[in-house]
Amino acid sequence: MSFSESQIQQYGGHRQKMVERHLSDRGVRDLRVLEAMNRVPRHLFVPAALQHRAYGDHALPIGENQTISQPYMVGLMSELLGLSENDKVLEIGTGSGYQTAVLAELAEQVFTIERIKNIGQASQKLLDRLNYRNIVYKIFDGTNGWRDQAPYDAILITAGVQKVPPPLIDQLKDGGKLVIPIGDLESQKLTVITRREGQVESKDVAECKFVKLIGKFGWTDNGHS
Ligand code: SAH
């Protein structure tokens, strides 16, 4: 069942303030990103008891030891991908589905992979109820990428890892951008990788802290790489 307009519009003032204070005032300039984040009802992506905190600039727990990323990070990562409306994007780590919705507002098609079945299924249900029709879902180890649908204009990894999983570089278009938190368990550097004529350029843009990317080309479940 779809949400009512009033459920979606709730917290509209908080949402607008979030966009001003936590995004534009901190340097996110891309108007399409700001507009997208002013449209997506973030309060519907967090547990009901935490809805009143949905528009503050922090990550929040979404169950299974995972988190919904803080708004500033979502804005920054979305801007760094440099998406245009004809783009095809791959997202690794669907989580709450909030970042997925923002990507779906900005690109033509979003392919999103989540390794935890309950989380992936709940997000798909929510995004269906919000009438997003340009998202394709998969429960899988996203460190392998999604080969059948490659290449992608942009790839976003929303969990931290020590090294870029090689299949993800292979699945990026020439000229495409990959945004990924790289580092240890305590902190990572948000890194933008651009593929150009078979070469890769890498640039660190910010400090960040994400949960672990777990899989064949990531961390193992017990914390060791
Ligand atoms: N963008 C999400 C972030 C969620 S946290 C949000 O804002 O809600 C990161 C997510 O990545 C978690 O749900 C975790 O289960 C998932 N994840 C970790 N390793 C993964 C992998 N190898 N493949 C797919 N998803 C993975």
In this predicted structure, what is the pLDDT of residue 136? 98
> What Å distances lie between residue 68 and 63, 106, 123, 151, CA to CA?
10, 19, 11, 27
What residues in the chain have per-residue pLDDT under 70? 222-225
Nearest atom in ligand 1 to 69's CA: 7
> Which domains are seen in the chain, by residue range?
57-208 (3.40.50.150)
CB of residue 71 inside a 6 A radius of ligand 1: no
In this predicted structure, what is the pLDDT of residue 1? 79
| Angle between helix 71-81 and 31-39 (nearest 10) | 140
State the Cα–Cα distance between residues 95 and 76, nearest whole angstrom.
18
